[in-house]
Structure formats: structure tokens, C-alpha cells
């Protein structure tokens, strides 16, 4: 559970799954500081667009305010500016951030170009992540799962483990049906199509000792790795949060052994497919 705080609406790449495209928001400093004051989660996700494109003085004020309020600060970025950002300013940002969450949804330049529609973004992102790690920052790689890349999930694990040593963990996050992905089955694969590839990626993580978590796909599709599922943990701990509003259990969830520990599929997924096809194993296990 965290406060998602977009600080701007500007980005320098154009991901096919971008959930912020078309979003309207208030990015004035006073409003953002007030949002931090009213936060009850204790965890603030600094987001955008890309926050590195925010006015540097205002960005530092926001981060400093979070620190003064005792917040855990997660800094979400696509990473392509990190090696070109003013070193002194980056040092200040690093000192106010608990960890960086870098959107990294491809294992090679060709796939990255298809995903981001931005030539050169892959090399800049690789360099940016390596730079953060070298500087001693904690880095989570955020692999947004969508139609172009879900078949390459295991390859991404191998790539990250080999080429980006020192990152902290990978988050596999099934794409939200918002922004460019809203109502678009060309971007959002069916859960049952993506699940085998995700499970193979999780097995690869286990084999290599790579930490990981997963979100936005019902627990039943990744039951062997349920302890790594964000919603499973939240439901077991009876935590409130947007996961309860964004998702819903439907008729297909009846009788599922995971019913008490899973909020169901995302509502925007149901807008596209209108149904959930549970994994057969789950029904077979049901008393």
C-alpha cells in the first residue's frame, strides 16, 4: 500500500502499455506537498511521466518533504536520463530516495524499441541502471508484462542476472488496462497465455537466487509462487488499499482455493475480456 504521486505528466519515451497517457492531474508544488502531508501509508511512489523531467528544484523540495515526514520514498523512472542527469543533483536525489524503481520491460534493444518506440532507449537504460548500482543505490527492475514481451520473461531474468549484477529484485507487473492499453487486447494478453511464461521466469529466478515479486494477475495463475504475489500478501495481512478497488472477484472465482487470498482480476482486464479462465489445477484442488 502506497501513495502513488505523479509529479509531472511528461515523458521522453512512448511505451506501448503506458498507463499515464491521457491522464490529467495537478502537478503544482503546493498540491503535491499537501498530498504527502495527507498520506497515511508511509510509502510514497514518486512517479510521472518521468520525474527526472520535473523542475529540479521542485523535485528536490518534494523529496525533502517526504524525508522530513518519515516516508519510504520509491522513485519511479524509465532510467534513460540517469547518466546524463546533473551528477550533483542526482547525488541529492539519491540521498533522499530509499530505492529506484526502473521500468525495464525488454531484454534486448530490438524488443525495447518495439516497446518504447524510442531508438537508443535500451542502451541508455542499461547504462543508467549500472550507474545507480555502481553508486550504491537500491534498484528494482519493473518488468511490465504485456503482449509484446510476456514470452520473453525468462530471457529477461537471464539478461538481468548476467548484465545488471547488483540489482535488488524484479517486479513482474501485468500491464494495467489504462492509458494506451485501455480496452486494447493487442496490448493486454489473456492471463492464461502469459502465465506459463511468467511461471518459467519465476523458476529461473529461484534457480539463480534472484528476488522477485508479481502483481496484477490473479494468484491462481501463479499459485506455486503465491508468497511472491503482492495481493496475496496484502490479503493475508488484511491490508486495505487500491487493490481492493481496482480488482473484483467474479463468478469464475467461485470455488477457487485462493478465493480468500486474492481480490480477483483487474476491472480493466474484464473490460477487455469479460471473463476469467481459471487455471484447471485450482478447481481440481477445491474441496
Average pLDDT for runs of 10 along the chain of length 287: 92 93 87 96 95 97 98 98 97 98 98 97 98 98 98 98 98 94 93 96 98 95 95 83 80 86 92 78 46
Range of 240's domain? 3-245
Residue 258 lies in a domain: no
- What is the rounded (10 degree) CA torsion for 62, 68, 69, 75? 40
User: Could you read off the pLDDT of 69-86 as tens digits, one per residue?
Assistant: 999 999 999 999 999 999
CATH number of 56's domain: 3.20.20.70
Which helix (DSSP H) or strand (DSSP E) does residue 76 occupy? Answer: strand 72-77
Residue 205 lies in a domain: yes
Residue 103 lies in a domain: yes
Residue 228 lies in a domain: yes
Distance CA 31, CA 7 (A): 10
Distance CA 158, CA 234 (A): 29
User: Could you read off the pLDDT of 168-212 as tens digits, one per residue?
Assistant: 999 999 999 998 999 999 999 999 999 999 999 999 999 999 999
Residue 57 lies in a domain: yes
pLDDT of residue 285: 46
- pLDDT, averaged across the chain: 93
Residue 241 lies in a domain: yes
Total domains present in the chain: 1
pLDDT of residue 286: 42
Residue 161 lies in a domain: yes
Distance CA 177, CA 21 (A): 11
pTM of the model: 0.93
Residue 134 lies in a domain: yes
Amino acid at each position: 500500500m502506497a501513495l502513488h504521486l505523479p509529479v509531472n505528466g511528461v515523458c521522453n519515451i512512448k511505451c506501448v502499455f503506458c498507463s499515464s497517457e491521457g491522464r490529467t492531474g495537478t502537478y503544482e508544488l503546493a498540491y503535491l506537498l499537501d498530498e504527502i502531508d495527507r498520506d497515511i501509508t508511509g510509502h510514497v511512489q514518486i512517479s510521472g511521466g518521468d520525474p527526472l523531467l520535473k523542475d529540479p528544484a521542485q523535485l528536490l523540495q518534494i523529496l525533502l518533504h517526504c524525508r522530513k515526514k518519515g516516508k519510504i520514498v520509491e522513485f519511479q523512472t524509465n532510467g534513460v536520463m540517469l547518466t546524463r542527469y546533473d551528477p550533483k543533483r542526482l547525488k541529492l536525489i539519491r540521498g533522499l530516495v530509499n530505492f529506484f524503481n526502473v521500468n525495464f520491460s525488454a531484454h534486448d534493444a530490438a524488443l525495447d524499441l518495439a516497446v518504447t518506440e524510442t531508438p537508443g532507449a535500451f542502451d541508455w537504460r542499461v547504462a543508467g541502471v549500472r550507474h545507480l548500482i555502481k553508486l550504491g543505490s537500491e534498484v528494482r527492475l519493473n518488468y511490465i508484462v504485456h503482449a509484446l514481451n510476456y514470452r520473453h520473461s525468462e530471457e529477461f531474468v537471464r539478461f538481468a542476472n548476467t548484465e545488471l549484477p547488483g540489482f535488488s529484485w524484479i517486479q513482474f507487473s501485468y500491464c494495467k488496462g489504462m492509458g494506451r492499453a485501455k480496452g486494447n487486447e493487442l496490448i493486454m494478453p489473456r492471463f492464461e497465455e502469459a502465465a506459463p511464461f511468467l511461471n518459467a521466469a519465476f523458476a529461473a529466478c529461484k534457480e539463480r537466487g534472484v528476488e522477485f515479486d508479481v502483481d496484477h494477475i490473479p494468484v491462481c495463475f501463479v499459485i506455486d509462487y503465491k508468497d511472491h504475489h503482492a495481493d496475496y500478501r496484502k490479503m493475508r495481512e488484511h491490508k486495505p488499499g487500491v487493490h481492493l478497488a481496482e480488482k473484483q472477484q467474479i463468478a469464475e472465482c467461485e470455488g477457487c482455493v485462493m478465493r480468500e487470498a486474492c481480490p480477483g482480476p483487474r476491472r480493466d482486464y474484464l473490460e477487455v475480456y469479460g471473463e476469467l479462465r481459471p487455471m484447471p489445477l485450482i478447481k481440481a484442488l477445491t474441496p
